[in-house]
Structure 1
Amino acid sequence: MKSLRYVALVLLIGVVAAGGYWFWKSRTAGALPEGIAAANGRLEADQVDVSTKMAGRVIEILVKEGDFVQAGTVIAHMDRAELDTQIDGAKAQIVQAEKAAASASAAVTQAESQVALAQQEFDRANALHDKGYQSVEVLDQRRAQLQVAQANVTAAKANEQQAQAAIDTAKAALARLNTLADDTTLVAPRAGRVQYRLAEPGEVLAAGSRVITLLDVAQVYMTVYLPAAQVGRLALGSEARLVLDPVPQYVLPAIVSFVSADAQFTPNAVETKDERDKLMFRVKLSIDPDLLDRYQAQVKTGVRGMGYVRFDPKAEWPENLALRLPQ
């Protein structure tokens, strides 16, 4: 009987010990080491609007929602018929200005030849006058003819410069029109996924109207809020971990890429330490772009999860937050 009681006592102690250990593990399983903070958040990404630069009709849209596009990919075409007409007119003005410039250049050549002739006649008259064979009146006439010819050269050169300026003006107008025509082709400013298609072919849009909204999946981050006591010890570039609700079996690497300089939740009068401890700061935890590039088809914004930040570099990540990536 004593042996049975002893065995029962040992079993009871074992059960109590096992139960206590299980209770302790269950209470401490979610505990984080000192120097690591946690907060919930959701994945976000930068959005880029592709908009019209000028008013016009949408002719064609080449992408649909969900498509992934590279930087420079043509997204849509706007009507450019009116611009093409203006471009043809500008080209005609350039031709006309070049012809005027050629005529002005010929006039300069002619005026310079007149100067050369007038100079010769003046020199002969002056030589004869010095020998007493030419009157002062004739010499004055030759001098006046030379001065008129020189003035004609000056005027012809001014006309030539004006004609060249007209060419430059016409070419600048053509370049402007070509730039506007290029703007009728809307391209993706960066790589990303089409989030929203906000216009359809046939619609007439005002200048600055949005046609497509792109999601830059190379810049994905989770926004969390941490108290001032932790943020004060946090540095940009600090290591972080992300665990997303739909795939809790994975632990994704991240870094602290932004810490707000202003508190998001501030009492009206912050005077006591307890009130200061309530201050919360916005923190961005960015995912490595190379990792995003590998899994760009799976990247989705709006997914919620937990963000873990190591504000003490000496703190060790617990086993449940060891990096685990999809295969």
Structure 2
Amino acid sequence: MKTSPLKKILFVVVVIGLLISVLMLTKYWDKSNHYDGIASGNGRLETTQVDITAKYGGRLTHIYVKEGDMVEKGQLLAKLDTRELEARYKVALAGVEQAKENRNYAQAVVSQKEIDLKHKENDFLRSKALFESKSIALVMFEDDETEYQRAQAALMAAKAQVTSYEAAISAAKAQAESIEVQLQESKLYSPVKGRVLYRLVEEGEMIGSGGNALVVLDLIDTYMTIFLPTSQVGLIDIGSDARIVLDALPNTPIPSKVSFISPEAQFTPKEIETATEREKLMFRVKVKIAPELLLGHLHKIKSGLPGIAYVRLNETMPWPDSLRMRDRNGSRP
């Protein structure tokens, strides 16, 4: 029985398809299969995003940066309209000065009352001595005693007035300081050294309390997230040595450290009954690039680049030659 030409052609097409599939799988197969004692996973470079948020609402009068601009830590990025706050601040400062003047006047009254009390005390003591020697009548002694008591009460009232004005000064200062804080919070500064990712509002637009004005990438906090099985996660720790190899730089391993290991497994049922099922547990692991290395290459950092992160399971085991760091001459030690 002869085989028809159509069947031969179909057979050849199937064989070619299988060969192509094998080549594709070989090309894209996880490179960690070539390294014993090293865990690896595919991922993309990520950088921590920092929201630049307005604590108080208002109108944005100035935005000093554009998307893509590099910014320094503490750099002024945007400013809200503060004219009303500045007017309230002047009123609050005037209130502080007025309270101080009132306190000074009350202190002068206290000094006057102290002098008056001293005179009344002397009159009272003299009347007491004369009354005891029967030189004056009881009614005169009682009059001087009453005046002395009145002078004591007047001094106490004057001192209470000073205390009241002291409290008024504290309240006025607190109000001024509160407005001063609002003035400071009306200027939005970058808390990190990095790059502006998004500019969410424009000059002249209103922004609500807690609204985001910009998003800045904290380039020093650049990392790759991968997922590793239980058998490998149990052999690594926070701080374990790692390497990141980007697809764009396949011959340049980047020194890194494990900075996070998830306490909960991913992509698994909530209840695991058998050892076989437990072996399928995958844990999220964050591999962070060494900050000292990033400082010299901030302009080159691009989040989203795909690559592979490698984590050494045994710290005493040397890195394979292809994952070793290069020296200044380009050779591997």
Same fold (TM over 0.5): yes
Asked whether 1:264 is paired with 2:266, we answer: yes
CA contact (8 A) 1:42 1:304 kept: yes
Secondary structure of 1:296 counterpart: helix
The offset of 1:210, in angstroms, is: 0.4
Using the TM superposition, name which of 274-283 and 143-152 deviates more. Answer: 274-283
Return the match for 2:298 from 278, 296, 299.
Answer: 296
Asked whether 1:276 is paired with 2:278, we answer: yes
CA contact (8 A) 1:51 1:211 kept: yes
Asked whether 1:65 is paired with 2:67, we answer: yes
Counterpart position of 1:136: 138
Q: What is the 5 A alignment of 1:64-213?
A: 64-213=66-215
Q: Closer, same or farther in 2 for the Cα pair 1:245/1:216, shift >3 Å?
A: same
Q: Closer, same or farther in 2 for the Cα pair 1:227/1:133, shift >3 Å?
A: same
CA contact (8 A) 2:196 2:214 kept: yes
Task: Give the Cα–Cα distance (whole angstroms) in 2 for the partners of residues 66 and 250 of structure 1.
Answer: 25
CA contact (8 A) 2:195 2:218 kept: yes
Q: Which amino acid aligns with 2:140?
A: V
CA contact (8 A) 1:34 1:315 kept: no
Q: Closer, same or farther in 2 for the Cα pair 1:33/1:247, shift >3 Å?
A: closer
Task: Give the Cα–Cα distance (whole angstroms) in 2 for the partners of residues 163 and 311 of structure 1.
Answer: 70
Q: Which amino acid aligns with 1:166?
A: A
CA contact (8 A) 1:42 1:305 kept: yes
Q: Structure 2 unaligned segments of length 5 or more: list them.
A: 1-26
Q: Structure 1 unaligned segments of length 5 or more: list them.
A: 1-25
CA contact (8 A) 1:39 1:224 kept: yes
Task: Give the Cα–Cα distance (whole angstroms) in 1 for the partners of residues 125 and 299 of structure 2.
Answer: 89
Task: Give the Cα–Cα distance (whole angstroms) in 1 for the partners of residues 32 and 96 of structure 2.
Answer: 76
Q: Closer, same or farther in 2 for the Cα pair 1:124/1:227, shift >3 Å?
A: same
Q: Closer, same or farther in 2 for the Cα pair 1:325/1:170, shift >3 Å?
A: farther
Using the TM superposition, name which of 188-197 and 150-159 deviates more. Answer: 188-197
The offset of 1:255, in angstroms, is: 1.1
CA contact (8 A) 2:113 2:155 kept: yes
Q: CA RMSD in A?
A: 1.8
Q: What is the 5 A alignment of 1:29-44?
A: 31-44=33-46
Q: Closer, same or farther in 2 for the Cα pair 1:167/1:269, shift >3 Å?
A: closer
Q: Which amino acid aligns with 2:132?
A: D
Task: Give the Cα–Cα distance (whole angstroms) in 2 for the partners of residues 83 and 259 of structure 1.
Answer: 47
Q: Which amino acid aligns with 2:305?
A: V
The offset of 1:257, in angstroms, is: 1.1
Partner deviation per Cα, 1:7-39 (whole Å, 9 max, x = no partner): xxxxxxxxxxxxxxxxxxx99x97433211221
Counterpart position of 2:229: 227
The offset of 1:229, in angstroms, is: 0.6
Task: Give the Cα–Cα distance (whole angstroms) in 2 for the partners of residues 260 and 216 of structure 1.
Answer: 22
Q: Which amino acid aligns with 1:152?
A: A
Task: Give the Cα–Cα distance (whole angstroms) in 2 for the partners of residues 325 and 263 of structure 1.
Answer: 38
Secondary structure of 1:295 counterpart: helix
CA contact (8 A) 1:250 1:325 kept: no
The offset of 1:90, in angstroms, is: 0.6
Q: Could you state the TM-score of these two structures normalised by the residue count of structure 2?
A: 0.87
The offset of 1:260, in angstroms, is: 0.7
Task: Give the Cα–Cα distance (whole angstroms) in 1 for the partners of residues 244 and 58 of structure 2.
Answer: 45
Q: Which amino acid aligns with 2:106?
A: A
Q: What is the 5 A alignment of 1:301-320?
A: 301-320=303-322
Q: Which amino acid aligns with 1:243?
A: V
Asked whether 1:321 is paired with 2:331, we answer: no
CA contact (8 A) 1:50 1:210 kept: yes
Task: Give the Cα–Cα distance (whole angstroms) in 2 for the partners of residues 304 and 214 of structure 1.
Answer: 21
Task: Give the Cα–Cα distance (whole angstroms) in 2 for the partners of residues 199 and 229 of structure 1.
Answer: 48
Q: Which amino acid aligns with 2:205?
A: E
Using the TM superposition, name which of 310-319 and 91-100 deviates more. Answer: 310-319
Partner deviation per Cα, 1:198-217 (whole Å, 9 max, x = no partner): 11100011100101111000
Q: Which amino acid aligns with 2:263?
A: A
Q: Which amino acid aligns with 2:273?
A: E
CA contact (8 A) 1:251 1:325 kept: no
Q: Which amino acid aligns with 1:99?
A: E
Secondary structure of 2:269 counterpart: coil
Using the TM superposition, name which of 312-321 and 295-304 deviates more. Answer: 312-321
